[in-house]
Structure formats: C-alpha cells, structure tokens
Amino acid sequence: MSEVAWQKGWWRKDLLSIKELSREEIQMILDTADSFKEISTRDIKKVPTLRGKTVITLFYEPSTRTRTSFEIAAKRLSADTINISVSTSSVVKGETLLDTALNLQAMEPDIIVLRHSAAGAPDMLARALKASVINAGDGFREHPTQALLDMMTVREKKGSLEGLLLAIVGDIAHSRVARSNIYGFKKMGARVRVVGPGTLIPRGIESLGVEVFHDLREGIRGADVVMALRIQRERLEGAFFPSEREYARFFGLSLDVLREMAPNALIMHPGPMNRGVEITPDVADGPGSVILEQVTNGVAVRMAVLYLLAGGTRGEDLH
C-alpha cells in the first residue's frame, strides 16, 4: 500500500465551522464521505476503524435526526457511543458549560458531538478539552455537517458545485444551516442567493458575498439548487411575518413557482419540513427533490468527519 496517502491529510482536532475550513479541507471530507457511503449499502454495515474509541453526543437541544445520524455513523465505525441530553433549563441555573466539559474530560472521551442553543459553545468546549469537538449546530451560527451533506448531495447530482446557483429561501436570520451553506457553497465556487421577507434576512448579509431577494420568483430564477429552510412558526408568526398563510403565499415553494428554476434543478430541505408552509407536498415529494438523499448522505458525511477527526492532531502532539 502506498505511503503517499500519509503525506496530505487532516490535521484539525475539531470541526467547529465551515467558515474556518479551506476548499481543500471541504473537498477532503466530501471525497472521504463518498467512499464511506458504500459501507451503508453492505449487509454488514460496520467497519472496525474506530474500535475502542468513545464518542459522546451531548445535546442541549432536542434533535432526534441529527443525533441519530451521528450515532449511526459512529456505530458503523465501531466506536462506542454515549448519548447525553441536557434540558436547557438546567443549564441556566446549573453547572456552567465549562464544568460540564471538565467532567466529561475526566471520562476520557475521544470525540464529543455538541448541539447547543448558544452560538460559540463548541468553541469554548474545544478550547477546554483534549477530546475532538464536532459542532452539531450552535445557536444561529453554524451547522457544519448539515452543509457538508448538502454539498455532498449536490455534488453527487451535479458533478461539481463550481458555477452553480444556489437559492436559500426562508428564515436566513435564525438559520445556522443557511450560514454554513453560504460559506460552504461559496468556497466551492457556487453563487448564492438568499430569499425571504426583510425581517428574516439579516442586515448586511451582502458582506458574505450573497445576493438578497425579497421576491421568491425573482430569487429562484435560473437557480440550479433551491433550499427551503424550516419556518419555526411558534417563534416567528406575528413578529417576523403576519401569518403562516401569508408566508406560504409569498415565500412557500410550490410547483408553480418552481418553473422559474433551471431545468433539472434540485429541491433541498434540511428537515424537519412543514409541508404546506415553506414547501408544498407535491414539491417535497416531486422529481427534483433530493430530501431523502440528504438524510442518507448525512450518515456518510458524519462517518467521514468522525474518521478524519479521530486521526487529527491531539493537543499533546502539538509542538
């Protein structure tokens, strides 16, 4: 076996954001994920690579999907997984994140997958711990593995992201998925538009190199990929837009509106969907929809990230 593979490689201890990654690093994760995808098609969906490693999923926000995806990924690599769910209410009055971190460190985990409602929490944890930290979503800031699986899905279908036009539709302001995808797709050479009502588009977002549209038809015109974001009705209705009905009428993806897209355009959604609000059922289940592929690729991407980080530089190896 060639030793050349050792020369290049992944040196990071943590995966905290897409913003911090180079194009080459993103490419490396996506290539690795492509290779890992095959494992999930085998009868025996397991390789021994991370045998003896401990992966803790630490979730301060409920998310069955992401947690399960990480857990399956870790198990397919033969790692031991432990799931900890913390209710946010106990965080505020209970021990500090740093206390929690040091307690976990004492149990010598290798990788901690953190979901937290506070932006930057994974960075704090990563700084305090020897273990690798994977950001599984922090507040409104980033959700790097989601963007990676989105990029993997589009790359699979389109061959490359270079020169593609992505339109992200909906609640950009409160979306970590939007931020990570803006950074990721831009780095990979795509053009990115954000589409939504003025209240849901953060002021100054043009500084991230995206174009802003408040008209859905205009915003998705010619797009190769349209990504609808989940609308959190409880939080937004009345304050950020008048009603769900009005939102659906002006910003919901329907078959009629989608005629504006490029031929063979892809429809994506990070889930869970509100059918009939940000996306109509016939679009969600229609021909361009790759929503289920996104879920499948999520496992492969997370296997790739776990694999690469487990070989990343540990604190004590730093010179």
Partner 1 sequence: MRICIRGGRVVDPSQGLDGPAEIWIKGGQIEAICRAGAPVGGCQRDAQIIEAKDFLIVPGLVDMHVHLRDPGYEYKETILTGAEAAVAGGVTSVACMPNTDPPMDHGAVVEYVLRKAKEAALAKVYPIGAISRGLKGEALSEIGELKASGVVAISDDGRPVTNALVMRRAMEYAKGFGLPVISHCEEPTLSARGSMNEGEVSLELGLRGIPSVAEEAMVARDILLAEWTGCHVHIAHVSTAGSVRLIRDAKRRGVKVTAEVTPHHLVLTHDAVRSWDTDTKVNPPLRSREDVEALQEALRDGTIDVIATDHAPHARVDKEVEYELAAFGISGLETLVGLTLMLVERGVLDLSQWVTKVSLNPARILGIKGGTLTPGSPADLTIIDTNTSWKVDPANFRSKGKNTPFKGWILKGRVVYTLVDGRVVYKAGI
Partner 2 sequence: MPPDTGKRVLLDASGVRRALRRMASQIAERHPGEGDLALVGIRTNGIYIAQRLAKEIEAIEGLRLETGIIDVTLYRDDISRGRPHPLVKRTEIPFPVDDRKIILVDDVLFTGRTTRAALDALMDFGRPALVELAVLVDRGHRELPIRADYVGLEVSTSRDESVIVRMEEAEGADEVLLVGPGWKGES
Query: By the criterion CB under 8 A, which residues form the site for partner 1?
Result: 19, 91-92, 96-98, 116-121, 123-124, 138-142, 176, 179, 202-205, 207-208
The owner of tokens 């990504």 is 227
| Strand runs labelled E in 94-228 | 111-116, 132-138, 165-169, 191-195, 211-213, 225-228
Nearby residues of 246 by Cβ (< 8 Å), 6 or more positions away:
none
In a 3-state reduction of DSSP, which class is residue 316?
helix
Q: What residue 130 binds from partner 1, partner 2, none (CB within 5 to 8 A, per partner kind)?
A: none
Instruction: Catalog residues that contact partner 2 under the rule CB under 8 A.
Output: 1-2, 5-6, 8-11, 28, 31-32, 34-36, 38-39, 42-44, 46-49, 53, 77, 304, 307-308, 310-314, 317
Q: What residue 36 binds from partner 2, partner 1, none (CB within 5 to 8 A, per partner kind)?
A: partner 2
Q: What residue 8 binds from partner 1, partner 2, none (CB within 5 to 8 A, per partner kind)?
A: partner 2
Q: Are 73 and 309 in contact (CB under 8 A)?
A: no
Residue 11 CB, shortest distance to partner 2, in Å, is 6
Residue 142 CB, shortest distance to partner 2, in Å, is 23
Residue 39 CB, shortest distance to partner 2, in Å, is 8
Q: What residue 234 binds from partner 2, partner 1, none (CB within 5 to 8 A, per partner kind)?
A: none
Residue 317 CB, shortest distance to partner 1, in Å, is 24
In the bound state with partner 2, the residue whose beta carbon lies nearer, of 8 and 93, is: 8
Q: What residue 142 binds from partner 2, partner 1, none (CB within 5 to 8 A, per partner kind)?
A: partner 1
Residue 205 CB, shortest distance to partner 1, in Å, is 6
In the bound state with partner 1, the residue whose beta carbon lies nearer, of 82 and 118, is: 118
Angle at which helix 144-158 crosses helix 64-76, to 10 degrees, equals 70
Q: Is 314 left (phi over 0), alpha (psi -120 to 50) or beta?
A: beta
In the bound state with partner 2, the residue whose beta carbon lies nearer, of 288 and 312, is: 312
Residue 301 CB, shortest distance to partner 2, in Å, is 13
Q: How far does CA 318 lie from the centroid of its chain?
A: 28
Rounded CA gap, 130 and 56, in Å? 13
In a 3-state reduction of DSSP, which class is residue 283?
helix
Structure tokens at 134: 């994977």
Q: Are 180 and 199 in contact (CB under 8 A)?
A: no
Name residue 97's amino acid. L
Q: Are 3 and 121 in contact (CB under 8 A)?
A: no
Give the Cα-Cα-Cα angle 10, 14, 18 (nearest 5 degrees).
Answer: 85
Q: What residue 314 binds from partner 1, partner 2, none (CB within 5 to 8 A, per partner kind)?
A: partner 2
Q: What residue 119 binds from partner 2, partner 1, none (CB within 5 to 8 A, per partner kind)?
A: partner 1
In the bound state with partner 1, the residue whose beta carbon lies nearer, of 124 and 231, is: 124
Residue 33 CB, shortest distance to partner 1, in Å, is 25
Task: Give the CA count within 13 Å in the CB-facing half-sphere of 227.
Answer: 28
